[in-house]
Amino acid sequence: MNAADLALLLQEANSAPWESVQSALDMVDGATHPRIGWLTTHLTQTKRGYWAAIAEATGCPPPPDDAGLRRLMDWEVEQTRQLSPQQLSTELTYSEQVMTVAEVLRLNARHSVWHAGQLAALAGRVRSA
């Protein structure tokens, strides 16, 4: 996959109208399940971790420190579009696994969609005491 393909994959995982992190967050209304906050924090931290590893391996900029999840998702799509074929094939170690930058980006998309499903399942549940 090239940078444009990977950017599209992340864009769809992050913000497609159906079956994305953003579409799941848009379903959250009123009293929410407490796990929703944990999941959004976890996604933000994990995306920062992926991009810190990518930045270290490729020399590209790390994510903005002040970006929340929604801004971070937009940022990473734009950053992915700018990666060269050489940067995408650069190897790095993430979570004790040697991967290419492209493989980390695919992992990022899978991870995002995995948690989008969890967010969507929790979005309609009202917290009970």
For the segment 8-32, what is each residue's pLDDT rounded down to a tens digit?
999 999 999 999 999 999 998 776 7
Q: What is the pTM of this model?
A: 0.92
The Cα–Cα gap between 69 and 80 comes to 16
Burial class (CB in 10 A: 0-12, 13-18, 19+), 74: middle
Task: List, for the chain, all residue ranges whose pLDDT scores fall below the cut of 70.
Answer: 31, 125-129
- For residue 31, the model assigns a pLDDT of 64
